[in-house]
Structure 1
Amino acid sequence: MYFSKFTLTTVVAASLLLGAAPALAEAVLHRGNSGEPQTLDPSQTSLEIEAFILKDLYEGLTIYDAAGDIVPGAAESWTVSDDGTVYTFKINPKANWSDGSPVTAEDFIFSFRRVEDPKTAAGYSNILYPIKNAEKVNKGEAKLEELGMKALDAKTLEITLERPTPFFLQLLAHQTALPVNKASLEKNGAEFIKPGKLVSNGAFELAEHVQNDHLTAVKNPDYWDAANVKLDKVIFYPTEDQAAAVRRFEAGEIQLVYNFSADQIERLRASYGDQVHVNPALSTYFYSFDTRVEPFNDVRVRRALSMAIDRDFLSREIYKGAQLPAYSLVPLGITNYGKPEEPDFATWTQIDREDKAIELMKEAGYGKDGKQLEIEIRYNTNPNHEAVATAVADMWKTVFGAKVTLSQIDISAHYAYLKEGGKFNVARAGWTADYADAENFMTINMKKNPTFNYGRYDNPEYDALVEKSYTEKDPAARSKLLHEAEAMVLRDQPIAPMMNFGQLWLVSNKVKGWVDNGSNDHLSKYFSVTE
């Protein structure tokens, strides 16, 4: 066959283009996220579903690596004074914002002051309280300029603490400690979190956000480690409908799914094997009682209701062992704390618990021989939470003759209502450690932390024990104080711990770089996808 010079050149060029096509294809990760984020403002964040997105967009001084260990982030290194109260961070000289401007020490000072500024009303401001004067600033008792931070030069940041804080580097990896771009915020106001306006310093930048549909982040070419980021794009989908999320995973539309109905574990494992991940977490699933509302302001009623919950049934029948029965506020696995405390009834049989619960309820004037209990259980939309609420309602009806109703709402609205102080009877909630220290679980029942003390538990003695732990330098003595505090809150039962979480993930075998970890931090910068 005869080819002209032109024809031969054309064929060769076409062959080269076809051969190069796969290399030119975008590397896109499709991530299921179990709800729509309330915010992309680090100062207002509180949920895991927000953290997954925010930590892709922004980068703190420290970050978690794929295995869940603290490693350098925007700070390439740091030193700590001999007394453990002064941290000096060297910010990576290559660290830039997505607009090309450098990330500086002043950026972190501006961002941390903003979190502690009372006008910001940051729900997680307490994360930074170990910094000198942070709590005073947040309460309006000190000026913003008195926050214990200063720039030694453009790329050197010094942070002074109130006291030695062994977990401080973990706090800096929390989404509240992410920096925001001052110029963008001052120019755009509340709109600074919108696509086209959000200036970030993480591995990705915000390209598109369609509420309740998807959020797209694209690779940030100005990120200091961009050369090692293998993804071009990450698309987050608010997959609150867990059954739909699983169907999309099975159809290959989504490659990561966070949280799925536990009754699907056996079926999914049979079909997808090691693509199903169930990993223990430093998390506690609990019901919160509103101590402002009768009869939940009566410790006898709270204890009785907690005793009547058959945690073994919930773990076995609803979660198929993916969550374990729990009676403690603090989960197992915090090495510097040891075995958590338990309430007195933890070792009793379920029959004995129910008998004692009936006695307590009778003392309080409620139950089958007293006033009828009317209880509303609030929970965020989720088939597992619905199954738990239905089961607990049946337990309370059977044991006490209670009239129990269920109320569900989407996750953002559920937690917004609780954080804003809305009144309720019983509300589902959970707590995942922000850092591996028992103190993190204690703070959610302190009066000074109304954002997460949903039931407004008010016990000065409890608060004093936790406060004293902050200044106790001896690890054993500090642990003892926290154990005393936990024993106290378990005696009063403002919350009823029910189970310790397992992290449920579906991870496609096309996703490379996944590592199970207790912190449940999974930055997209560590992933790649294959066809």
Structure 2
Amino acid sequence: MRIGVLLAGLLCSGLAGAQVLERGNGPEPSTLDAHRCPEVACANVLRDLYEGLVAEDARGGLIPGTAERWSVSEDGTTWTFVLRPVLRWSNGEALDAAQIVASFRRAFAPATAAPFAGHFDAIEHAGAVQRGERPPAQLGVSAPDARTVVFRVTRRVDLPRLLTLPTAYPIYLPAIAEHGAQHIRPGRLVGNGAYRLADWLPQAMITLERNEHFREPAPIPRVRFHVTEDASSELKRFEAGGLHITETVPPQPLPQLRARFGGQLRISPYLGSFWLGFNLTKPPFKDNLKLREALSLAIDRDILTRHVTALGEQPAFGLVPPGVADYSPASLGWGRAEQFQREALAKRRYAEAGYSAANPVEIELRYNTSTPHRRLSLAVAAMWRELLGATVRLRNEEWKVFVGNRRQRVVTQVFRGGWIADVDDARNFLDNFRTDSAANWTGYADPGFEALLDAADAAPSLAARSEKLREAEARLLSAHAILPIYFYTSKHLVRPEVQGFEANPLDRHPSRFLRLEPER
């Protein structure tokens, strides 16, 4: 009997003698520099390599990370975090409060260009440091002793939740001093999480192995994050036994998927929104509100979510998804109309914008390589052609190329956008449209919008804050800087031998909470 159990365990491990968790991870991560990570693909890996002052459990709840406890002053302006007695980097060296403070200063230094440092703007002088107006030493983070980290903030903020993000992970600065940008390579990257980097084969996989210096040995010794940019190919690998967990599921009728995979199919609510963005800095969308609105009106979101994405997504007429804490989302006014009414209005707006069948608008719709994105882009282009007579070209790009082009706003016209919440807060979605945000891919610039966000920060109550944020969202939507399409669901295939995989609104699944057990 014991031999049979052992053989079953080896079969589910992928390696004789050592369990290996095989995870699909979408596109190639653009970096493993935690402070510069701009997307889900790198964050998934970094969550295994690093740990911030605060961490999240399998269900997304806050738990102690490198800090064993924390407290906030009565006026909400000072947060104090007390570190665990013994902390070590993956190379065995001690990790203390001074190193954590130095890492924060590096994260906010202008040269780092951390894409999501703006989420931490409540920290005293954070924005000024990132803009180069103050030296990093003036950032509102200090270490009065080796086990204490103190943050000074300028408004009430859920700082522990923010400290779970990669921007807040401690970076081993000696490796940067010695290797520069190459400090993220195997043999050089030093982290403090449950795993360490063993290998990185570009465009194929990243291999992690258990960090022997982490306080709690991870149940699974090795983890491989596979590049699975094409969802259909990822599904085939899962069916062939090459993956334990997929990053997503390709668009297929949901009843068929349930009949085919049963309990292995995991679909859950997810705090994310998918939208198309308009480049507002160049023609034809610069200063052409009516054209942007016409294109948004022409989209039949019900058809897209029922027949193209088809995995429980909800049609979207706003930016912030339902279910975000302490918030009632705004919505486009005509979102409650029937589709035939929206289409009639789309034709009027298109004509008012100066276009017609004889003079069609020419649009390039850009998206990153992905079966779901290709299917959706084809459907959107068909809707624009059939209803408005628009001329649409599709442009498919590898992830890193796509991200660079989207950020630079030089060649983009309409592009695949969207946002997955970093924290459960409406502000996390709206802040991306500030003029100076690294995630403001549209080039949206509206002082009135930013004034509402500032008013929300200064609001005396949660209700007043929510109302100002809702006004800001409504203002953004009325400008038609984006074209909302649907609100996400998380969708994975998970093999029965994987235990500990828990649904949570942010769809985060650190490998240290997972186990591989023989299928019964």
TM-score (norm 2): 0.95
Query: Are 2:251 and 1:259 aligned?
Result: no
**Structure 1 residue corresponding to 2:85, chosen from 93, 108, 131:** 93
Match of 1:75 among 45, 64, 67: 67
Is residue 127–residue 176 contact of structure 1 (8 Å, CA) maintained in 2? no
Q: Deviations over 1:407-447 (max 9, x none)?
A: 11122321222123333110011101111111111112111
Residue matched to 1:27: 19
Q: 1:18 to 1:463 in 2, by over 3 A?
A: closer
Please show how residues 458-473 of structure 1 align to structure 2 within 5 Å: 458-473=445-460
> How far off is 1:491 after superposition?
0.7
Q: 2:127 maps to what in 1?
A: 135
In the alignment, which of 422, 428, 431 is matched to residue 419 of structure 2?
A: 431
Question: How does 1:156-175 map onto structure 2 within 5 Å?
Answer: 156-165=148-157, 167-175=158-166
Q: Which of 314, 324, 327 does residue 334 from structure 1 map onto?
A: 324
1:181-200 to 2 correspondences below 5 Å: 181-200=172-191
Aligned mate of 2:511, from 493, 499, 524: 524
Once the 2 structures are TM-superposed, how far is the Cα of residue 265 of structure 1 from its aligned partner? Answer: 3.9
Matches within 5 A, 1:321-400: 321-338=311-328, 340-368=329-357, 371-400=359-388
Q: Distance in 2 between matches of 1:221 and 1:473?
A: 47
Query: Equivalents in 1 of 2:411, 2:439: separation in Å?
Result: 13
SS in 2 for 1:258: coil
CA shift for structure 1 position 17: 11
- The number of residue pairs the alignment matches comes to 511
Q: Is the 8 A contact 2:274 2:486 kept in 1?
A: yes
State the alpha-carbon separation in 1 of the partners of residues 4 and 416 from structure 2.
Answer: 55
CA deviations over 1:362-405 (Å, ceiling 9, x no partner): 11111226x31101110111111111111111111112111111
Q: Verify the 8 A CA contact 2:267 2:489 in the aligned structure 1.
A: yes
Aligned to 1:313: 303
Whole-angstrom distance in 1 between the partners of 2:380 and 2:6: 59
Q: CA deviation at 1:81?
A: 0.7
Q: Which residue of 1 aligns with 2:232?
A: 243
The Cα shift of 1:126 comes to 0.8
**Cα offset, 1:20, TM superposition:** 8.3
The aligned residue for residue 204 of structure 1 is 195
- Deviations 1:28-61 (CA, angstroms, capped at 9, x unpaired): 1011111100000012101111111001001111
Opposite residue 247 of structure 2, the aligned amino acid is Y
Q: Which moved more, 1:264-273 or 1:72-81?
A: 264-273
Match of 2:169 in 1: 178
- Residues 279-317 of structure 1 show CA distances to partners (whole Å, capped at 9, x for unaligned) of 111100000001112221211111111011100000001
Cα distance change of structure 1 residues 77 and 253 upon mapping to structure 2, 3 Å threshold: same
Whether contact under 8 Å (2:25, 2:246) holds in the other structure is: yes
How many angstroms apart in 1 are the aligned matches of 2:6 and 2:308?
A: 50
Question: Greater Rg, structure 1 or structure 2?
Answer: 1
* Residues in 1 aligned to 2:471 and 2:320: alpha-carbon distance in whole angstroms: 12
State the alpha-carbon separation in 2 of the partners of residues 330 and 174 from structure 1.
20
Aligned counterpart, 2:13: none
Shift of 1:183: 1.8
In structure 1, runs of 5+ residues without a counterpart are: 1-15
Q: Matched residues in 2 for 1:80 and 1:362: separation?
A: 57
Alignment of 1:112-151 (within 5 A): 112-151=104-143
Query: Cα distance, 1:458 vs. partner?
Result: 1.1
> 1:87/1:120 Cα in 2 relative to 1: closer, same or farther (>3 Å)?
same
What's the secondary structure of 2:417's corresponding residue?
strand
Amino acid at match of 2:248: N
CA contact (8 A) 2:253 2:311 kept: no
Which segment drifts farther, 486-495 or 289-298?
289-298
Name the CA shift for 1:17/1:492 in 2 (closer, same or farther; >3 Å): closer
Name the CA distance, whole Å, in 1 between partners of 2:458 and 2:283: 37
Cα distance in 2 for residues equivalent to 1:64 and 1:120:
26
TM-score by length of 1: 0.93
Cα pair 2:293 2:346 within 8 Å, conserved: yes
How big is the shift at 1:127? 2.2
Query: Cα offset for 1:497?
Result: 0.8
Contact 2:249 2:491 survives alignment (8 Å): yes
Deviates more, 1:101-110 or 1:196-205: 101-110
Out of 33-42 and 350-359, give the one that drifted further.
350-359
Percent identity, aligned pairs only, is: 34
Q: Is this contact kept in 1: 2:281–2:409, CA < 8 A? A: no
Instruction: Kindly provide the CA deviation profile for residues 311-341 of structure 1, in whole angstroms up to 9, marking residues without a partner as x.
Output: 0000001122421101011100013112x11
Report the equivalent of 1:103: 95
Distance 1:190 1:270 in 2: 48
Q: Per-residue deviation at 1:18?
A: 11
1:35-46 matches, cutoff 5 A? 35-46=27-38
The residue that corresponds to 2:146 in the other structure is: 154
